Amino acid sequence: MQRAWGLLGLWVCVLLFALSTGRELAFNLLYFISGVILLALAWSWANLRGLSVHRAARGQRTQVGHYFEESLTLSNASRWPKLWVEVLDASDLPGHQVSRVVSSLRAHASSRWHVRTMARRRGRFMLGPLTLTSGDPLGLFRFSQNTDATTALVVTPSVVDVPDFSPPTGYLAGGELMHLRTPYVTTSTAGVRDYVPGDSLNRVHWLSTARTGRLISKEFELDPLADVWIFLDMHDEVQVEADGGSEEGAHVRAENAWPWPGMGEFKVPLPRSTTEYAVTIAASLAQHFLRHDRSVGFLSYAGEREFLQPDRGRRQLDRLMELLAVIQAEGEIPLAQVLASEGVRLARHSTLVVITPSIDPAWVGALRGLGARGVHGIAILLAAGTFLDHPIGDEPLDDWHPALVELQATGLPTYPIRYGDDLAEALTQFNRPRAGRRWQG
């Protein structure tokens, strides 16, 4: 742009000189500068004509610790080659480097490049829009063309493989038979009935069909296994988040960055945040229970009430992951009130997993009260003091001492989690202090 203003100033000076002197040389110089300006302007404008850019992603969802890949294609449909074209990307996915300069793009040709980015933060991100910029060889003018097309990318939270989340058997009760008919195929058969158009073949009871001479279908009941509920505390006043120290925190396994097994493997650190630890734990436990064919429900009071009815299977896990990808600690209702208001809806023999950094013993009392109604509670307590910038080391954890003592006194299975713990290991050692750490102060 400075060159353009300088050339324009020179053109004005030559114009004044030519008009004042009337010399032929001055007018020739004026014509030459005017021609250069017009040619550069036309070149810059034409350099964006016939250009289009297309981006193709491998799916609209990925996970923290996994790679997200997409390819971009810049096509030139005009009959003239393009000297250079700059592609600017406005995506908000951290570390996603798409922008580049494409030079010497021939007529009716295209340039394609691939981008591979490690997802390091959960959330919903926008890919695009893209801006194409080009100019003339002298750098006098630049024109831009915006492409408003955007695509949403959901990055789900990381998970850890929990090999043995095993409270006492009594806390994962099988429940009682619930004689409720269901349209879904379960392991509990209630009886038979006449075939109805639309019934799948796996519902047909072939022995009864052969005996009666007409199609007979099976009816099913709800599975007798009790539901597992995950209550995630997103009350903003109890969360702790600090900068620094992420290299010492828990890590999740990242995908292999090299094409050969065993090379380039590394781990992605979790942020020093009770919110991120709690979300990762919730996602890991949901995956654990659903893999064991348990019916899992979810509840959290974040910016609004986030609720999922108990269900099984991959579809339920996908719904939970998409919800956990965007949930934030924006809740205004303490956990004790949430348990008091929502706990009455839990069925007898349900298992309730509470994940919280709250040190208020009131929620422990509310969880104990649910136990009197037959709801089996499990507490995952985050030591919020260990997420601060200053190290705590082996000092007594007085900040969470009241809640931990109350939990131990009630006999509820408790998983204490500190910043930097190996979550896979910590979630297999309920209510069991490790060597060198004084859980009770």
Q: What is the pLDDT of residues 79-117, one digit of tens each?
A: 989 989 999 999 999 999 999 999 989 999 999 999 999
What is the C-alpha to C-alpha distance for residues 93 and 61, in angstroms, rounded to an integer?
A: 12
Q: Residue 21: pLDDT above 90?
A: no
164 inside domain: no
Instruction: Point out the domain boundary residue: 108, 126, 156.
Output: 156
Q: Which two tokens stand for residue 320?
A: 């939970």
pLDDT digits over 354-406, tens only? 999 998 889 999 999 998 888 999 999 998 888 886 554 444 444 667 777 88
Identify whether 431 is part of a domain: no
Task: Say yes or no: 70 and 183 in one domain.
Answer: no
Cis peptide upstream of residue 183 (ω within 30 degrees of 0) = no
Contacts of 292 (CB under 8 A, 6+ apart): none
Do residues 289 and 339 both lie within one domain? Answer: yes
pLDDT of 219 reads 78
Phi, psi of 131 (to 5 degrees): -125, 125
H or E segment to which residue 290 belongs: helix 274-291
Proportion of the chain above pLDDT 70, given as a percent: 80
Inform me whether the pLDDT recorded for 204 exceeds 50. Answer: yes
Q: What is the pLDDT of residue 25?
A: 83
In a domain, 106, yes or no: yes
CATH number at residue 364: 3.40.50.410
The predicted pLDDT at position 332 comes to: 94
Q: CATH code at 124? A: 2.60.40.10
Q: Are residues 146 and 280 in the same domain?
A: no
Length reported for the chain: 441
Residues 89 and 104 in one domain: yes
Task: Look up the domain containing 23 and give its range.
Answer: 2-46
Q: How far apart are CA 172 and CA 184, in angstroms?
A: 24
Contacts of 421 (CB under 8 A, 6+ apart): 250
Q: 149 and 31 in one domain? A: no
Q: Two tokens at 98?
A: 């798409």
Query: Does residue 171 sit within a domain?
Result: no
Please check whether residues 28 and 151 belong to one and the same domain: no
Q: Is pLDDT above 50 for 324?
A: yes
List phi, psi (to 5°) of 311. Answer: -160, 170
Residues 125 and 253 in one domain: no
Are residues 390 and 243 part of one domain? yes
Q: Same structural domain for residues 113 and 209? A: no
Residue 129, preceding peptide bond in cis (omega within 30° of 0): yes
| Structural domain includes residue 168 | no
Collapsed DSSP state (helix, strand, coil) of residue 194 = strand
What percentage of residues in the chain have a pLDDT greater than 90?
43
The residue-averaged pLDDT of 311-328 equals 94
The count of domains in the chain is 4
Domain for residue 305, yes or no? Answer: yes
Contact 385, 239 (CB under 8 A): no
Q: What is the mean pLDDT of residues 329-335?
A: 94
Burial 243-262 (b: 16+ CB within 10 A, else e): eebbeebbbbbbbeeeeeee
β-strand partners of 126: 152
Q: In 66-149, where does DSSP find H-type helix?
A: none
Cα–Cα dist 212/209, whole Å:
5
Q: Residue 99: inside a domain, yes or no?
A: yes
Q: What is the pTM of this model?
A: 0.76
Q: Do 255 and 401 belong to one domain?
A: yes
Answer yes or no: is 371 within a domain: yes
| The pair of three-digit structure tokens given for residue 58, joined into one six-digit string | 């491998």
Q: Do residue 100 and residue 136 come from a single domain?
A: yes
The tokens for 45 are 């404008």
Q: Residue 207 corresponds to which tokens in the numbers above?
A: 């022995």
- Are residue 309 and residue 406 in the same domain, yes or no? yes
Task: Yes or no: say if 270 and 441 are a contact pair by the CB < 8 Å rule.
Answer: no
Look at residue 262 and give its three-state secondary structure.
coil
User: Which tokens hold the place of 253?
Assistant: 């396994």
3-state DSSP call for residue 55? strand
Kindly list the distances between the CA atom of residue 312 and the CA atoms of 226, 284, 287, 309, 406, in Å, as whole numbers in the listed order.
Answer: 12, 15, 10, 10, 33
Res. 259: pLDDT tops 60: no
